[in-house]
Chain A
Amino acid sequence: MHIVVCVKQVPDTKIIKINPKTNTLDRRSAPAILNPYDAHAVQEAVKITKAIGKGTISVLSMGPPQAEAVIKKSIEIGADRGFLISDRAFAGADTLATSYALSKALERISKDMPVDLILCGKHAIDGDTGQVGPGIARRLDIPPVTNVIEVAEVNESEKTILIKRKITNGYELIQAQIPCLLTVEKEINSIEYSPMPNMIKAARYEPVIWSVNDLEAVDRTQLGLKGSPTIVGKMFTPPKPEGGKRLEGNADEQIQQLMELLNDKKELLQPNSNK
């Protein structure tokens, strides 16, 4: 079983600060981390190979040279090896151009070792699109299953996998043929503490770095900014909604005013029904 996990380096949105003057991101304040959903994808790959008793976990990322940090982090969680595609030709890619570049790297990886399963996080926390995973599956012509909350069974001899996919108010149980691509939700597992040997391996690990020239049969017009059909037209501050009314006075006075307002609007304050 060869599992490839696609991972992305993202700014940590929990720590990020906004410059109130310019309304933009203060990048110095944002440390780069492994996209949290991708960490769960790596963890799930570890779980699957442990359950089977064998297998290889490769991680693949695209980004600047410093993105090798997220590959090291993945090694710490339990991946065996990592590949980083890094080249100016990839820069400025939207989701379409990103899935193209990653699918070319996946083709290169699978030439040496055929890939059975591709795992991705549900989405990256910087763009929140969730479009790259299904895009890769389409390019490689394998079935995607998104929003996976459990890998229930992997049947290597039958080449099938049984998955629970989250839907509103429940889940679907899906059987998919291998190879396929899954995007995972956070609840699929909890990240375990990395064993010491993994940490040592990660500290010394040097990922394979490929430039565009290392990939085969690449149509350069489909890469980076040039290969991206979408562009940002303009940025604007959203129109201010109505509202903005403040209550005056000390805490007790404000609460009294609020209670009066709510009393006037008591038809709104119906308790939630217990259905």
Chain B
Amino acid sequence: MMDEYRGVWVFIEQNDGKIEGVSLELLGAGRKLADKLEVPLSGVLLGYEIKSLSREVITYGADQVYVIDHEVMKDYRTESYMKAVINLAEKYKPEIFLYGATSNGKDLASAVATDLSTGLTADTTMLDVEVEKRLLEASRPAFGGNIMATILCKKHRPQMATVRPKVMKAMEPNPDRHGEVIEEPITLREDDMRTKVIKIVKDVTKKVNLAEAHVVVAGGKGMGDLQNFQLIHELADTIGATVGGTRDVVEAGWLPHEQQVGQTGETITPKIYFAIGISGAIQHVVGMKNSEFIIAINKDPQAPIFDVATCGIVGDALEIVPKLIKEFKEARERGGEMSYV
């Protein structure tokens, strides 16, 4: 019965007619799995007036796109999206189904997995497939240790996983790729919906956008206390960087949650990442390890953060950071190459 299930699917999340980056990354990751299994890769695209996006899904690696373009799908809602996705999965029976680990992706995948009585692995950071058994190997950092766990779903299909944004790589889009667009009808009516999105309010005043920052100065609990943590802000101000922090720092109330980097915060890939007083627990490292240039400052020479650092300084952050601030300020005053504020 499990042999009926074939193909790799990716849920294509779009907001305001723009495809989320994680969906394109998943097409890249899904392409590799589909090639190994010798099956097609399909995108599942839901929304209103979004059919034209299916072209983009194909250029990023899909062989097929299932499209449901209907007014009831205009805004994401669990109940409408879930019903559409469940119907598709029951009709076409994919063996693997991937979603971005975004608020909507996690919400949708949880509901779909419950209905299909199948396994769902959360916040995956590595994906592979065991070809002979056609088994998805979805790996994620395990709780309580610098260790990864590979989660398997042997007896149920589809095998589902949500995948962290910015850990997989999207393919270069190929405008010459061909693919098939399959439009599916839908029978849902607005009157049957029990939730309504009244309005969407965008907070334009929000200054901190970690995801787009080129330079991030992040601090951990090694900074000691809130007062010392001000050094992180001061360094960031000096070089025009955005401040980030570990979960401990957010739990302690030194930073708001939107500035948390790591497994339950943001996954970011800035050009330069300062990790100061951060030991480098795997939950943090998965959120920043793909940064281009990583500078670690920590007292403990054994701290795992040094394994991912491009440049490590063993020393007391309280001594090093003020000196760094001074250096950057002097460089700026000299007006030389490093004046950038």
Contact = CB atoms under 8 A, between A and B. Distances in A.
Interface in B82-134: 82, 102-103, 106-107, 109-111, 113-115, 117-123
B203 A170 contact: yes
B340 A270 contact: yes
A271 B147 contact: no
- Which of A126, A243, A265 has the most chain B CB atoms closer than 10 A to its own CB? A243
A251 B299 CA distance: 11
Contacts of A261: 311
Given A245-B310, A247-B312, A272 B145 contact: no
A18 B144 contact: yes
A177 interface: yes
Interface stretch (B46-54, B59-67, B183-191, B301-309): B301-309
Contact of B240 (A145, A175, A266, A271): A271
A95 B320 CA distance: 45
A130 interface: yes
A134 B110 contact: yes
Interface string A117-149: 000000101111111111101110011111100
Contacts of B338: 259, 262-263, 266, 269
A126 B143 contact: yes
B interface, over-half SS: mixed
Given A171-B201, A235-B147, A269-B215, A176 B195 contact: yes
Specify the main secondary structure of chain A where it touches its partner: mixed
A127 B143 CA distance: 7
Contacts of A51: none
A11 B200 CA distance: 37
B197 interface: yes
A255 B322 CA distance: 11
A254 interface: yes
B82 A172 contact: no
B306 A246 contact: yes
B120 A131 contact: yes
A125 B212 CA distance: 27
A265 B293 contact: yes
Nearest to A185: B257
Contacts of A24: 144-145, 147
Contact of A135 (B113, B150, B310, B340): B113
Highest count of chain A CB atoms <10 Å: which of B119, B143, B149: B143
Interface stretch (B23-31, B36-44, B323-331): B323-331
A15 to B, nearest CB: 10
B264 interface: yes
A137 B257 CA distance: 26
A268 B271 contact: yes
B151 interface: yes
Contacts of A196: none
A14 B311 CA distance: 28
A273 B312 CA distance: 27
Nearest to B139: A236
A173 interface: yes
B259 interface: no
B313 interface: yes
B110 A243 contact: no
5 contacts: A129-B122, A145-B195, A232-B152, A255-B324, A269-B215
4 interchain residue pairs of minimum CB distance:
A271-B240, A25-B144, A229-B119, A134-B110
Given A230-B121, A232-B150, A232-B152, 14 more contacts: A123-B264, A125-B264, A131-B110, A135-B110, A137-B111, A138-B114, A144-B107, A167-B103, A169-B203, A169-B209, A244-B306, A251-B315, A263-B337, A275-B212
